[in-house]
């Protein structure tokens, strides 16, 4: 329960109006990656979902350790998610929040399992540890205690 409260606090203080979406280059790159057909070790089915994901790196105390940024998901399952971003993350815990226009929002605590460079980007794969209702996901009235990092420029 304490992690639910801590994650909700993180969600409440993200200044979403300052966040910049992933570059058009990243979206184009993700669209060009073929879906893997190899054997999958996951216990639950993964779904191809290309969407913006707000990410906040967290410490073991569930407090932010770096500024929030927007990554792009490649796929998601009930157990975890695969994200792409311009740079690797230094934290092993992430608050992730996905808001799709035609679907319910989702936020969770994610443990980073692996990171690897893929082209000009970094693939960040992780396992969900706890859910956190995204009550603040579409509400900009919350205090802007966290600022976003500047947009990444890629050619």
* pLDDT grade for 6, boundaries at 50, 70 and 90: confident
Per-residue pLDDT for 1 more than 90?
A: no
How far is residue 117's CA from residue 87's CA, in Å, rounded to a whole number?
A: 9
Write the DSSP assignment of 56-82 as a string of letters.
EEE-TTS-B-S--EEEEEEEE-SSEEE
Distance spanning both ends of the chain, measured CA to CA: 44
CB atoms within 10 A of CB 137: 17
d(CA 51, CA 57): 19
Q: Residue 127 — pLDDT band, cuts 50, 70, 90? A: very high
Q: What is the pLDDT of residues 14-70, one digit of tens each?
A: 988 889 888 888 988 888 887 765 445 656 788 888 889 999 999 999 999 999 999
Please, which residues bridge with residue 112 across strands?
A: 126
CA distances from 143 to 12, 118, 153 (A): 7, 36, 28
Is the separation of the CB atoms in 73 and 83 below 8 Å? yes
């Amino acid at each position: 329960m304490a992690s639910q409260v801590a994650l909700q606090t993180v969600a409440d203080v993200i200044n979403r109006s300052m966040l910049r979406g992933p570059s058009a280059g990243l979206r184009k790159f993700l669209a060009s990656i073929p879906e893997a057909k190899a054997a999958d070790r996951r216990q639950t089915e993964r779904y191809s979902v290309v969407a913006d994901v707000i990410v906040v790196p967290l410490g073991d105390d569930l407090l932010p350790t770096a500024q929030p940024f927007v990554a792009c998901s490649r796929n998601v399952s009930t157990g975890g998610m695969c994200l792409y971003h311009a740079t690797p993350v230094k934290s092993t815990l992430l608050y992730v929040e996905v808001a799709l226009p035609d679907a319910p929002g989702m936020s969770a605590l994610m443990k980073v399992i692996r990171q690897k460079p893929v082209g000009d980007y970094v693939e960040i794969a992780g396992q969900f540890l706890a859910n956190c209702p995204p009550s603040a996901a579409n509400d900009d009235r919350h205090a802007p205690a966290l600022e976003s990092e500047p947009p990444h420029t890629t050619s």
